[in-house]
């Protein structure tokens, strides 16, 4: 296995509009090369000492290693919640042309 070149950064948002705004802004700023918004999904969680349940929309973003931390910080900044889920997973393998596109697209944010 070589060096990780591509990352998937995910978050959930309370509305489709919030998730789309995060996707549009971060792709528009070249922090992510692409994004998908999916949902709604039912979420069950523990918050402020209580069991909660609600609908959320997931935003999945593709980025480069170089842009990952800046993207994660921007998602947290754009997010309406005080402590949103922002996680990242390495893409262990993808075709070279895809990784090159991600790197080229997100390099425009420098």
What are the tens digits of pLDDT across the range 88-100? 999 999 999 999 9
Read off the pLDDT of each residue in 13-28 and give the average, rounded to a whole number.
98
Which pLDDT value is given to residue 109?
64
- Give φ, ψ of 3 to 5 degrees: -70, 140
Domain 6-107 belongs to what topology?
Answer: Alpha-Beta Plaits (3.30.70)
The domain ranges of the chain are: 6-107
Are the beta carbons of 109 and 30 closer than 8 angstroms? Answer: yes
For 1, 6, 39, 62, the CA distances from 98, given in Å and listed in that order, are 17, 9, 25, 10
Task: State whether residue 19 is helix, strand or coil.
Answer: helix
Percent of the chain residues past pLDDT 70, beyond the cut: 97
Task: Output the pTM of the full model.
Answer: 0.92
């Amino acid at each position: 296995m070589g060096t990780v070149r591509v990352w998937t950064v995910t978050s959930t948002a309370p509305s489709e509009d919030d998730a789309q705004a995060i996707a549009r802004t971060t792709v528009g700023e070249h922090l992510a090369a692409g994004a998908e918004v999916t949902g709604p999904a039912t979420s069950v969680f523990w918050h402020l000492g209580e069991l909660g349940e609600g609908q959320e929309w997931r935003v999945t973003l593709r980025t480069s290693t170089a842009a990952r931390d800046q993207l994660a910080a921007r998602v947290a900044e754009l997010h309406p919640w005080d402590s949103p889920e922002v996680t990242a997973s390495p893409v262990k393998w993808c075709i070279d042309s895809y990784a090159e596109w991600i790197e080229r697209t997100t390099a425009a944010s420098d």
